[in-house]
Amino acid sequence: MTTGCPAHADGAACPVSDRARAFDPFTGAYQIDPAAALAWSRAEEPVFYSPETGYWVVSCYADVKAVFRDPLLFSPCNVLEKITPFPDEAMAVLASYGYAMNRTLVNEDEPAHTERRRVLMAHFLPANIEAHRDRVRVLTREKVDAFIAKGRADLVEEMLWEIPLTVALHFLGVPESDMARLREFSMAHTVNTWGRPSREDQIALAHEVGRFWQFAGEVLNRMRAEPHGQGWMHEAIRQNALHPDIVTDSYLHSMMMAIIVAAHETTAHAAANAIKLLLTDGAGWRAICEDAALIPNAVEECLRYAGSVVAWRRQLTSPATVGGTDLPAGAKLLIVMASANHDERQFQNADSFDIYRDNATDHLTFGYGAHQCMGKNLARLELRIILEELSRRLPHLRLAEQEFTYLPNTSFRGPDHLWVEWDVAANPAEGAERARFEIGAPRRKDIARSVVVTAVQTEVEGVISLHLADPQGRPLPRWTAGAHVDLELDGFDRSYSLCGDPDEPGYTVSILREEAGRGGSRRFHAVTPGTVLRLRGPRNHFPLDEAAPAHLLIAGGIGITPILAMADRLKRIGARYHLHYLGAAEARMAHLARLSRDHAGQVTAHPRDRVPRADLAALVAAAAPGTRISACGPARMLEALQSLTATRPDLVLAIEHFSAGDDTDLADNRPFEVELADSGFTLPVPADRTLLQVLRAAGIDIASDCEEGLCGSCEVAVLDGTVDHRDKVLSIAERAAGTRMMCCRSRGEGRLKLAL
Ligand code: HEM
Ligand code: FES
């Protein structure tokens, strides 16, 4: 066994710490909970050498993502290597079956990989995944029908392995026979590749894997005899005939074996993990029983919190530094996505399970970049439909008492059995399916929680404040000054800034009644205590830079709401600030009394019926260098501030708009191209489509909410090129920097390079 890390093989002080030495992914803590088992590493030693495995373990989000991002430096060539090398006898057994597992897609290097992926992509595009929806639904329904009257079931045995396997075989075009055999083959392949079998087991395993290899070859030969067969492997066979240099013979046989496992075991485990987690949590399960629209995000949060692929591998092609540790060329990496997914630097309260988390889709369970799971949208569809059927038909499901066991290996994780129970007499009447999920990443619009109005207060004529709380009395998520929430009621959907006390468990919003509006504010003005609303957020695209030497706060009319929260915060931290509040009539300016009570001496009110109109030019001229101006109010006021500050580069202007306006003439749209640096693709964006639409259709996960350039959900990082910014999120300085864009509305000139 290695006694020190290979980088210090010369006998110099070896940095292998006791915990690194004790790390064993085949037993104990890692098998029970890989993220918890590596909490120490995330905190203290983000990259460490594990003598037990001979791998460098990478545990933090940014490092794992950086490794995925660069397939040239971090080659995937070792992804399907046996992590426990076989003894000669077992290798001889494998050879007797002609076993020659080679490159597929997942372990292929560039440029061969991207060429291959490109010609084999079509079946995986969201538009083509649609064709599998009905089959998944029917299969799931049949399985639930078969056990719904029993009151107790092992969901793994009764449905969770068979649905993904049947769907996978259909997707691939492989005949649906010998299913039980295939399941056993898959388990053998997993232990063979990612496990630590004993010496005796290795021989039996070698026979099983050899038989799987032969089976895959026979299926392939039968499929070759059907030139017009349907399914992805048939397509691969046709591409093999058309481009034998890109889709090679060796690829076909290896892929046939690998994909059967990739397409079903991953999804079966993910479903079992998700149901176990939701039932343990209770609140998450109740929420999806009440509102099926939450299921897509619940699935992402389950994949983040307890994913089915917990670690993957890469090998360094030249020396590099990862997470501050210098690694030699040839170093083998075990990149632990389960640990990265619990990294506090990426996910707030990472160890708590929260189906409303709005960046859950950032999890790395599907990998990332050029090799990111091609089947992710098929898997998502299956997981969503399984959860929808179970939560609708068996909302009273509970976990039975049981000890969970897992197949010991580094990478694939899901319980061998999942016993659940329910009271058959309480089974609800069969209702219609509650949601038809879109293909792709969840929409942020669906991540809405119910809140109840606890009080309605009239501030001034035409302005009310609503106090909102969680119906079960739990604290709502924390927020910071400048944050807003979106409220939905009776088809109306409006954004309102939060203006209460951030330490309170509930929220306060103030709403102006707009007679000329489309009716949203009038509807919200009619609510009474006890009304239940849907709420999204909070989100903050108007954050305070607390480090600024001085703050000038400017509010116009109801724009006072985020500004009030900012003033409260600045007072609390002892910052220098002054607030100017502009309004048409004193009697209609909300929160004036509170301002003069809490911010005496720091507020100047400018009611136009009492004092001359505020002189914005004078305010800007008097601002000391370095002052941060935060402004919210009517578009004319904001435009005036933008032009007044244009000649004062020493000031920072941050503004919050309430509507997108319609300053964009769609007839001006010109086509452009985007190069996706991490995925290795270039996509054309035609004049009549948004960048968001084009990215989604290509299977890239992009969140969105407003799709009007207002909310900031769809932000992407720009590496190169000129952006035609059409959003209301970025400040002038941020636009000028050209490193971020909102892809729902903004476009490019010529060609853009994005970090996607
Ligand atoms: C690759 C996870 C379901 C097909 C991968 C990778 C991971 C993964 C971690 C490697 C990514 C990388 O190196 O960046 C999962 C999980 C699934 C799932 C967690 C279910 C929850 C599926 C399904 C299919 C599939 C259902 C097929 C129908 C593939 C393929 C690749 C892949 C073809 C290779 C992509 C490439 O290297 O270009 N998957 N997968 N996966 N997966 Fe999945
Ligand atoms: Fe709201 Fe793009 S989705 S800014």
**DSSP secondary structure of 66-100:** HHHH-TTTEE-TTTTS-SSPPPHHHHHHHHHTT--
Q: Whose CA is nearest to atom 36 of ligand 1?
A: 371
Name the helix (H) or strand (E) containing 301: helix 295-305
* HSE (side-chain half, CA atoms, 13 Å) at 230: 6
| R_g over Cα of the chain | 29
Atom number in ligand 2 closest to CA 706: 1
Q: Whose CA is nearest to atom 43 of ligand 1?
A: 373
Ligand approaching nearest to the C-alpha of 740: 2
Alpha carbon distances (Å) from 726 to 718, 723, 742, 746, 751: 15, 9, 8, 5, 17
For ligand 2, say whether the CB of 486 is within 6 Å of any of its atoms: no
297 alpha carbon to ligand 1 midpoint, in Å? Answer: 19
Best CA proximity match to 184, nearest among 156, 205, 198, 153: 205
| CATH code of domain 666-754 | 3.10.20.30
Convert the pLDDT of each residue in 30-68 to its tens digit: 999 999 999 999 999 999 999 999 999 999 999 999 999
Position 175 scores a pLDDT of: 84
Average pLDDT, stretch 384-406? 97
Convert the pLDDT of each residue in 136-188 to its tens digit: 999 999 999 999 999 999 999 999 999 999 999 999 998 887 788 888 899 89
Average pLDDT, stretch 78-85? 93
727 alpha carbon to ligand 2 midpoint, in Å? Answer: 8
Alpha carbon distances (Å) from 729 to 567, 626, 710: 21, 22, 6
Is residue 302 classed exposed, middle or buried when 0-12, 13-18 and 19+ CB atoms within 10 A define those classes? buried
| CATH code of domain 551-656 | 3.40.50.80
Q: Which of 444, 701, 742, 743 is the best mutation target for the ligand 2 pocket, counting ligand atoms within 8 Å of the beta carbon and taking the most?
A: 742
Residue 82, C-beta contacts closer than 8 angstroms, at least 6 positions apart: 192, 193
Alpha carbon distances (Å) from 68 to 6, 188, 203, 382: 23, 27, 34, 25
209 alpha carbon to ligand 1 midpoint, in Å? Answer: 21
Number of neighbouring beta carbons within 10 Å of residue 155: 23
Say whether pLDDT at 756 is over 50: yes
Share of residues in the chain with pLDDT > 90 (%): 77
ipTM of the complex as predicted:
0.98
Best CA proximity match to 301, nearest among 251, 239, 344, 363: 363
Position 665 scores a pLDDT of: 53
Q: Which of 114, 303, 366 is the best mutation target for the ligand 1 pocket, counting ligand atoms within 8 Å of the beta carbon and taking the most?
A: 366
Average pLDDT, stretch 714-719? 95
692 alpha carbon to ligand 2 midpoint, in Å? Answer: 9
28 alpha carbon to ligand 2 midpoint, in Å? Answer: 44
Convert the pLDDT of each residue in 398-437 to its tens digit: 999 999 999 999 999 999 999 999 999 999 998 889 989 9
Best CA proximity match to 701, nearest among 737, 722, 676: 676
Best CA proximity match to 754, nearest among 718, 726, 723: 718
Q: Which of 266, 312, 681 is the best mutation target for the ligand 1 pocket, counting ligand atoms within 8 Å of the beta carbon and taking the most?
A: 266
Helices (H) and strands (E) in the chain, counts: 26, 26
Distance CA 317, CA 66 (A): 15
Convert the pLDDT of each residue in 437-451 to its tens digit: 999 999 888 899 999
Place of tokens 């005796």: 200
Number of neighbouring beta carbons within 10 Å of residue 28: 12
Position 4 scores a pLDDT of: 55
Q: Torsion angle of alpha carbons 551, 552, 557, 560, nearest 10°?
A: 10
Q: Whose CA is nearest to atom 7 of ligand 1?
A: 366
Position 317 scores a pLDDT of: 97
Pocket of ligand 1 (CB under 6 A): 68, 76, 105-106, 117, 168, 171, 262-263, 266-267, 270, 307-309, 312, 365-369, 371-375, 378-379
* HSE (side-chain half, CA atoms, 13 Å) at 183: 17
For ligand 2, say whether the CB of 742 is within 6 Å of any of its atoms: yes
Share of residues in the chain with pLDDT > 70 (%): 97
Convert the pLDDT of each residue in 483-523 to its tens digit: 999 999 998 999 999 999 889 999 999 999 988 777 888 99
Looking at 526-559, list the stretches that DSSP marks H as alpha helix, in order from N- to C-terminal side: none
Q: Work out whether strand 398-399 and strand 320-322 pair parallel, antiparallel, or are unpaired.
A: unpaired
For ligand 2, say whether the CB of 252 is within 6 Å of any of its atoms: no
- Domain range list for the chain: 88-310+365-421, 444-539, 551-656, 666-754
Strand-pairing partners, residue 566, are: none
Beta strand residue intervals within 363-483, DSSP E: 398-399, 419-421, 449-460, 463-469
User: Can you list the pairs that 32-41 forms with residues at least 24 positions away whose Cβ atoms lie under 8 Å?
Assistant: 34/310, 34/311, 34/336, 34/338, 34/339, 34/413, 35/338, 35/339, 35/341, 35/342, 35/351, 36/342, 38/336, 38/338, 38/339, 39/339, 39/342, 41/339
User: Residue 717 carries which side chain, given as an amino acid letter?
Assistant: A
Quote the distance between the C-alpha of residue 197 and its chain's center.
34
For ligand 2, say whether the CB of 695 is within 6 Å of any of its atoms: no
* HSE (side-chain half, CA atoms, 13 Å) at 508: 21
Is residue 417 classed exposed, middle or buried when 0-12, 13-18 and 19+ CB atoms within 10 A define those classes? middle
DSSP secondary structure, 197-239, as one string? --HHHHHHHHHHHHHHHHHHHHHHHHHHT-TT--SHHHHHHHH
Looking at 484-588, list the stretches that DSSP marks H as alpha helix, in order from N- to C-terminal side: 520-525, 560-573
Atom number in ligand 2 closest to CA 444: 3
Distance CA 136, CA 148 (A): 18
Name the helix (H) or strand (E) containing 49: strand 47-50
Residue 538, C-beta contacts closer than 8 angstroms, at least 6 positions apart: 477, 479, 483, 484, 485, 498, 507
Quote the distance between the C-alpha of residue 6 and its chain's center.
36
Position 339 scores a pLDDT of: 98
Is residue 140 classed exposed, middle or buried when 0-12, 13-18 and 19+ CB atoms within 10 A define those classes? buried
Q: In this structure, what are the phi and psi dihedrals at residue 280, rounded to the nearest 5 degrees? A: -70, -40
Q: Which of 358, 484, 694, 704 is the best mutation target for the ligand 2 pocket, counting ligand atoms within 8 Å of the beta carbon and taking the most?
A: 704
Quote the distance between the C-alpha of residue 423 and its chain's center.
35
User: Residue 418 carries which side chain, given as an amino acid letter?
Assistant: L
Given this chain, do its domains 444-539 and 666-754 carry the same CATH topology? no
Atom number in ligand 1 closest to CA 269: 21
Give 5's pLDDT tier (boundaries 50, 70, 90). low
Atom number in ligand 1 closest to CA 365: 19
459-492 burial: b if 16+ Cβ within 10 Å, else e: bbebbbbbbbbbeeeeebbebbbbbbbbbebeeb
Average pLDDT, stretch 69-78? 96
In this structure, is the dihedral angle defined by the CA atoms of residues 271, 274, 277 and 281, taken in order, positive or negative?
A: negative
Q: Tell me, what DSSP letter sits at residue 444?
A: G
575 alpha carbon to ligand 1 midpoint, in Å? Answer: 50
CATH of 88-310+365-421, one of 3.30.70.2750, 1.10.630.10, 1.20.1250.20, 3.30.930.10: 1.10.630.10
Say whether pLDDT at 664 is over 80: no
Best CA proximity match to 222, nearest among 293, 172, 286, 283: 172
For ligand 2, say whether the CB of 265 is within 6 Å of any of its atoms: no
Say whether pLDDT at 660 is over 80: no
Q: Whose CA is nearest to atom 25 of ligand 1?
A: 375
| CATH code of domain 444-539 | 2.40.30.10
As a whole number, the mean pLDDT across the chain is 92
For ligand 2, say whether the CB of 727 is within 6 Å of any of its atoms: yes
Residue 549, C-beta contacts closer than 8 angstroms, at least 6 positions apart: 576, 624, 626, 627
Distance CA 508, CA 559 (A): 15
Atom number in ligand 1 closest to CA 368: 14
Atom number in ligand 2 closest to CA 743: 2
Say whether pLDDT at 705 is over 90: no
Q: Which of 373, 378, 381, 382 is the best mutation target for the ligand 1 pocket, counting ligand atoms within 8 Å of the beta carbon and taking the most?
A: 373
Atom number in ligand 1 closest to CA 168: 28
Distance CA 541, CA 630 (A): 12
Say whether pLDDT at 668 is over 80: no
Helix (H, G, I), strand (E, B) or coil at 533: strand
Position 178 scores a pLDDT of: 79
The verdict on whether omega for the bond into residue 111 sits within 30 degrees of 0, i.e. cis, is yes
